[in-house]
Structure 1
Amino acid sequence: MELLTYTAASPKNGYCNKILWIRLSAGKCTAEIQDVDEQTRLALQGGRGYAVKILHENLGKIKDPLGPENILIMARGPMTGEYRWPGGTKSVISAISPATNGYGESSVGGRVGEKMRNAGFDAVCITGKAPEPSVIVVDACKGVISLEDDPGIENSLELGKHLVDAHGKETTGVFSIGIAGRKLSRIACVNGIAATGNNYIPRQAGRTGMGGVMGSKNIVAVVFAGNDLKDTPIADAKALQDAAKEMRKVITENDKKQLDLFGKGTSGLVEITNKIDVLPVNNFSTSNTPESARISGDAFMKDVSKKTVPCSPGCNLGCGKLSKAKLPDGREVEVDGPEYETIGMLGSNIGIFDANFVAEANYMCDVLGLDTISTGYLIGYAMECAEKGYLKKEDLAGLDGLKFGNKDAACKLITMIAKREGIGNVLADGILKTVDYIAKKNPKARADLESFAVHAKGLEISAYIPRTSIAQQVSYGTSLIGAHHREAWLIMIDAVKNEIPEFNQKADILVWYQNIRTWVDMAGFCKLQWIDVSHPDSASRGFPSKNLATVELYIKAINAVTGLNWTMDQHFNVAERAYNIAKLINIKRGLGRKEDHMPARAMGKFTLADYDKLLDRYYEMRGWDHEGVPKKETLAALGIVA
């Protein structure tokens, strides 16, 4: 069904300055292209900034996150697809989250954001619900935006590959969902698939249930078929070349002797997190184990990982790994990753120390369209509930011996979650509904059930137990999307290096990290070149862990692309504006101070009084009141209309 004919906008200085709206219904489905005005572009920059603005402006219309009125937003920033820079790959997928009922977002690498740009758009907004499962196709080559029939391929990876091949392997990118998204799981992910040469590059937008929102719209895939654009016009190509040259030099000279992401990917973090007491083991009940060596970076490189597949041709950090997993039926399949988060959650967190099993579970989640972090967390939680007797035999029909370390049960439960079978139907709705379900069967145990359900706002915690770092606890608690480390990872500088001993320092650095990480999601940068490769010159630039020498390179790069010539403070002011808009979304959805806390298992030696003291200081530094609501003067200073 043809929705609209159009001529793709040509990107200039990082922007197409166009947003596509797809409005679905049982009657007439429509498409509309809206211009992005200069004021919006300067105020919110792109990516996450555009997403929070659109959601906030339409918030009154959105009741149920899985209802047709929710808006699924796919957005990119000016650096997305800019491969002259080593790491211009990120885009975001946003909506009101079915997991938290607040602001939901997942960032995704790979090349689909580039293809969106090449198709002529900075963002795509999808609202309503198609009458039948369908595919949205945005084809700049044909000049047509259309709604096509679902090919009927439930395997999310194969669906993406099929559509990439069908629309042109070199010029096409696809966002697709699996059976979990079709079944409206609140922990369903979106797979992004494009290709570099003969290699398909799958990456996942895993967190906050964006796959479920996409499925609620009866959309199984979105295809971007663009022109093959290289070296698009930017403000200062020479300045970008110079910044990129230095960034690549820093990576080449330092990555190997630091985390060695090119050699091991993020799997190498297992040894580090185990050593510093933050590796999740048996539903975060402990935080280190001698068994960790069996799922270490060395173990994966020896037995599973086969080659490096960067997100883009321009990246020399190359943390992405393509692995092989052997399935129980004897087949050998290719797997994107596994990344550290997946290893922690589908390995040690469920008591399984087997590199091939983790790769197999990773493959299953990708095929079925499940977030590996939430899936691994919920399986671990169910295992603990079964071992404590809160889940009885009748609750676990179809599962034999659900306990930590049981590979067969874990493997079966992944499929049950995706297909909403048995207890999997409960887990598919996330930790809040899982706790409620089990507590109704064990009413006297509710306090205990809540104490070891480690989440914030209903989003299951990512693979770092923060009991040694109160700064990280408040980081998880205040994270706008829930218990994810995306906005700040402070364990190393707080608990290990002790660089921020005072509460004022902890609050100050948390705000700074949240702002810079918000900014990179607005701009379309990958964070890892800044986070995980220390620039030698940063040691003399004030606070060493801020890695300011690399931040300066990021600023030079985006200024070269956009022509803005802004300072770091000017860029971060834009990020603070976006952060406060997203906070307003949460406040208006009923997520306040209470939801900015963490459960007992995450707290370690720290008390609620300790936590609240830091939370109060953090709110003060943000310009929010005691309940975490942005003050009128804060909003006015940022030019935000509440």
Structure 2
Amino acid sequence: MAQKIQILVDGRTVEAAPGAPLLELLQSRGCEIPTLCHHPDLAPAGSCRLCVVEIEARGKRRLVASCTAKVRDGMSVSTASEPVLAHRRRIAAMHLGRWPRVPVIQEIARRCGVVDASAYRGTMTDENPRACVLCTRCVRACEEFVQQRILDFAGRGARRHMTMAYGDVDPHCIGCTSCAYVCPTGAIQVVDDLNHPHDPVMIRDHGMKVNAEMARLDPQQCRMRQVGTANIIDVMDQYDLLPCHNFKFGSHPDAKKIYSAVFRDQYLTQGEDDGCWKGCSMACAKAAEDFELKTGPYAGRKVLVDGPEYENAGACANMGCFDPWFALEWNFYCDTYGVDTISFGTCMAFVMEAFEAGVITEAQTGGKKLRFGAMLETLECLHEMARGEGFGVDVGQGIRWLKEKWVREYGADPAFLQDIGMEVKGLEVSEYVAKESVAQQAGYSMAVKGPQHDEAWLIFMDMVNNQIPSFEDKAEALYYFPLWRTWFGLMGLCKLLWNDVVPVDNKTYPPQQAAKVPDHVRNYFKFFEGMTGIPLDDEKMLAQSARVHNLQRIMSYRCGRGTREHDLPPYRMMGPVTAEEYESRAERYDKQLREILGVDPAGKPVEEKIRLLRAHREAQYVRVLETAYERRGWTRNGVPRISRLKELGIDLPEITAIVRDAQD
């Protein structure tokens, strides 16, 4: 528990955390403190001086703005002394004299006991009830929420006014309405919206709530504005979840070379607009400017590199290429060639392990020694792929195709390739080590499109936050989260605003609820309602997604790929395949054999320990798979039940005919 100190507030002893905002403390104690420039979603400014209090410290008294003051040990605060009240009356009277018809000014004057403000009326008086009162909120919101300075003040004295940098219209203004949200008088109005939403105020209010959280909490949590999604590299390495050497290991001594701070301090441009959407307060889409390329058709040119995202940097670790230069060069050329970085990185990691295991040789790779860490050779494969020549063409076919070819033409062991070839349903696995998370294993493998994490990202809630400990919890997560994340895609909405910044009070929810970040889920529902006029809740949202999700599954089944056998992952996703893998985490695996299986690992060959552990983990996977099938309303073979289709209102004859013979 944080240390508390004692201060005096109007003669009464109050406990507070040192350094806490004084205004918030006083308001929480019921003290009457008028404010104008203050807004809870903005950093304090202290410009209106209405919130002044009298502070006595070390025998000296002085008036200070309580919004900018911090709690200090031994301070004595008076909120209603005569100097305080006189100061507030004078400031309130000046405001009322200048803006006599503005409701918020009238209310402040009333609370401060101002009866007559005629002494302050004159040529500066503005009779507009929606007049700008120079509170600075709009200027600060523009800068703090969206990192812009579209609005500012011009002129001095009576001529001081708020304006745009380029006059009435600023080409950089994106119409985010942050300024209108914080304006206390209605001086700023949203006059047009080509999308014609049902309730623009609802959208604005909930959108600004999110913007404010981003501005306030992101620097303390994921630091997206500084480093983008690359911040996850650090966390994954520390939690043994970073894929290294074709998912053999979850961390690596060299991983620090590609930690987020390296990109932030040496490569990524700071303080610019978001590369995805200019007005986003998270601004996670980062870029490295003037990066000089060393290979390929643009060698020697300085370019702008969009990224790297976490998955791009994570794939570098998977290939054993722990060099930020490589991460950016490879990232640029994948983007330029239109190549998916995850699929290419995972496929190359598979190729590298196969090369080191002797499955393929330089004879097949065109003379390239494709060992882990072979950066130039990897880039050459990418360039070959783009040119349509050499071994790069084979790599471009993907892991499933390579496995079939190597078995057919080189006599490779199909079981070994199946174990280490990280693909499901023909799609390469995304960049997370899931060996200790059966929920993530099932999330990847059950995903309709294949093991991408936009549908099934459960690794953090399972491994980092321990929010889904039981099989039932995991099954519920495998029901809710794929549907929730599918809903993002259906609506065309960014998911980062959901759980990449988490409200401070989210921890008050039970773990399974906290994983859903309920307050942020409601933000999306309100946005949907504001756009369409249709209220939405969890049940309705899940039904929307479930209709699409089940239809996708049925189409997969119709194409011969929608049953249990297609939801089984390669064993590398579940546990150690090789002796090297087992020995790298021997303490963990031996402990599991002793405590879970009741087997003494002492003296047993590594191969036997791998076999025992494998049998257990495969059984665990099947158990969670079947539990998840039941929760989704599917058969034991993973086919949607007709009764579930009826519940969702999609039991059309042509749909039920596809799955009728597959019912249990």
Do the aligned residues in 2 keep the contact of 1:326 with 1:356 (CA within 8 Å)?
A: no
1:281 pairs with 2:244: yes
Deviations 1:193-224 (A, max 9, x none): xxx9799xxxxxxxxxxxxxxxxxxxxxxxxx
Do the aligned residues in 2 keep the contact of 1:282 with 1:349 (CA within 8 Å)?
A: yes
1:322 pairs with 2:322: no
1:353 pairs with 2:344: no
| Partner SS for 1:333 | strand
Do the aligned residues in 2 keep the contact of 1:418 with 1:428 (CA within 8 Å)?
A: no
1:335 pairs with 2:305: yes
Match of 2:261 among 298, 314, 317: 298
Q: Which residue number corresponds to residue 388 of structure 1?
A: 357
Q: Which residue number corresponds to residue 178 of structure 1?
A: none
Deviations 1:512-564 (A, max 9, x none): 11111011111121000102111223333442111001111111111011111
Which structure would you say has the larger Rg?
Answer: 2
1:309 deviation in Å? 4.0
Match of 2:544 among 569, 574, 590: 574
Q: Which residue number corresponds to residue 373 of structure 1?
A: 342
In structure 2, what is the Cα distance between the partners aligned to 1:558 and 1:541? Answer: 24
In structure 1, what is the Cα distance between the partners aligned to 2:456 and 2:505? Answer: 22
1:626 pairs with 2:595: no
In structure 1, what is the Cα distance between the partners aligned to 2:643 and 2:557? Answer: 17
1:420 deviation in Å? 2.9
Match of 2:209 among 246, 249, 252: 246
Deviations 1:149-186 (A, max 9, x none): xxxxxxxxxxxxxxxxxxxxxxxxxxxxxxxxxxxxxx
Matches within 5 A, 1:421-500: 421-500=389-468
In structure 1, what is the Cα distance between the partners aligned to 2:193 and 2:304? Answer: 29
1:599 pairs with 2:567: no
Q: Which residue number corresponds to residue 609 of structure 1?
A: 619
Matches within 5 A, 1:99-118: none
Q: Which letter does structure 1 place at the counterpart of 2:417?
A: L
Do the aligned residues in 1 keep the contact of 2:312 with 2:331 (CA within 8 Å)?
A: yes
1:499 deviation in Å? 2.1
In structure 1, what is the Cα distance between the partners aligned to 2:173 and 2:195? Answer: 24
Do the aligned residues in 2 keep the contact of 1:341 with 1:463 (CA within 8 Å)?
A: yes
In structure 2, what is the Cα distance between the partners aligned to 1:198 and 1:377? Answer: 41
Q: Which has the higher contact order (CA 8 A, sep 6+)?
A: 1
In structure 1, what is the Cα distance between the partners aligned to 2:647 and 2:309? Answer: 40
| Partner SS for 2:445 | helix
Provide the TM-score with structure 2 as the length reference.
0.61
Do the aligned residues in 1 keep the contact of 2:228 with 2:286 (CA within 8 Å)?
A: yes
Do the aligned residues in 2 keep the contact of 1:278 with 1:287 (CA within 8 Å)?
A: yes
Moved more, 259-268 or 494-503: 494-503
Matches within 5 A, 1:471-550: 471-542=439-510, 543-550=513-520
Change (3 A) 1:444 1:488: closer
| Partner SS for 2:449 | coil
1:237 pairs with 2:200: yes
1:584 pairs with 2:594: no
Q: For structure 1, which runs of at least 5 residues remain unmatched after alignment?
A: 1-83, 88-195, 200-228
Deviations 1:291-316 (A, max 9, x none): 11111110111222124442113310
Q: Which letter does structure 1 place at the counterpart of 2:641?
A: K
In structure 2, what is the Cα distance between the partners aligned to 1:415 and 1:631? Answer: 47
How many pairs were matched up?
419
In structure 2, what is the Cα distance between the partners aligned to 1:561 and 1:283? Answer: 44
Deviations 1:386-419 (A, max 9, x none): 111111222111x432211111101101112233
Q: Which letter does structure 2 place at the counterpart of 1:534?
A: V
In structure 2, what is the Cα distance between the partners aligned to 1:444 and 1:357? Answer: 31
In structure 2, what is the Cα distance between the partners aligned to 1:551 and 1:537? Answer: 14
Change (3 A) 1:480 1:639: same
Deviations 1:341-366 (A, max 9, x none): 01111x11111111111100011111
Identity among equivalent positions (%) equals 31
Q: Which residue number corresponds to residue 229 of structure 2?
A: 266
1:287 deviation in Å? 1.2
| Partner SS for 2:242 | coil
Do the aligned residues in 2 keep the contact of 1:538 with 1:550 (CA within 8 Å)?
A: no
Do the aligned residues in 2 keep the contact of 1:268 with 1:297 (CA within 8 Å)?
A: yes
Deviations 1:12-38 (A, max 9, x none): xxxxxxxxxxxxxxxxxxxxxxxxxxx
| Partner SS for 1:482 | coil
In structure 2, what is the Cα distance between the partners aligned to 1:589 and 1:503? Answer: 30
Q: Which residue number corresponds to residue 140 of structure 1?
A: none
| Partner SS for 2:269 | strand
In structure 1, what is the Cα distance between the partners aligned to 2:235 and 2:446? Answer: 25
Change (3 A) 1:374 1:444: closer
Do the aligned residues in 2 keep the contact of 1:279 with 1:344 (CA within 8 Å)?
A: yes
Matches within 5 A, 1:397-408: 397=366, 399-408=367-376
Do the aligned residues in 2 keep the contact of 1:323 with 1:336 (CA within 8 Å)?
A: yes
Match of 2:278 among 307, 310, 313: 313
Q: Which letter does structure 2 place at the counterpart of 1:559?
A: E
In structure 2, what is the Cα distance between the partners aligned to 1:487 and 1:288? Answer: 25
Q: Which letter does structure 2 place at the counterpart of 1:403?
A: R
Q: Which residue number corresponds to residue 64 of structure 1?
A: none
Do the aligned residues in 2 keep the contact of 1:280 with 1:463 (CA within 8 Å)?
A: yes
In structure 2, what is the Cα distance between the partners aligned to 1:336 and 1:198? Answer: 23
Do the aligned residues in 2 keep the contact of 1:309 with 1:321 (CA within 8 Å)?
A: no
Q: Which residue number corresponds to residue 8 of structure 1?
A: none
Change (3 A) 1:251 1:359: same
Provide the TM-score with structure 1 as the length reference.
0.63
Match of 1:556 among 509, 526, 533: 526
In structure 2, what is the Cα distance between the partners aligned to 1:284 and 1:266? Answer: 20
1:231 deviation in Å? 4.5
In structure 2, what is the Cα distance between the partners aligned to 1:197 and 1:426? Answer: 46
Deviations 1:57-86 (A, max 9, x none): xxxxxxxxxxxxxxxxxxxxxxxxxxx9x9
Structure having the larger proportion of residues in helix = 2
Q: Which letter does structure 2 place at the counterpart of 1:633?
A: S
Q: Which runs of 4+ in 1 moved over 4 A?
A: 196-199
In structure 2, what is the Cα distance between the partners aligned to 1:231 and 1:314? Answer: 17
1:492 deviation in Å? 2.1
Deviations 1:333-386 (A, max 9, x none): 1111110001111x1111111111110001111111100111111111111111
Do the aligned residues in 2 keep the contact of 1:431 with 1:453 (CA within 8 Å)?
A: yes
In structure 1, what is the Cα distance between the partners aligned to 2:449 and 2:425? Answer: 8
1:577 deviation in Å? 1.0
| Partner SS for 1:538 | helix
Do the aligned residues in 1 keep the contact of 2:359 with 2:412 (CA within 8 Å)?
A: no
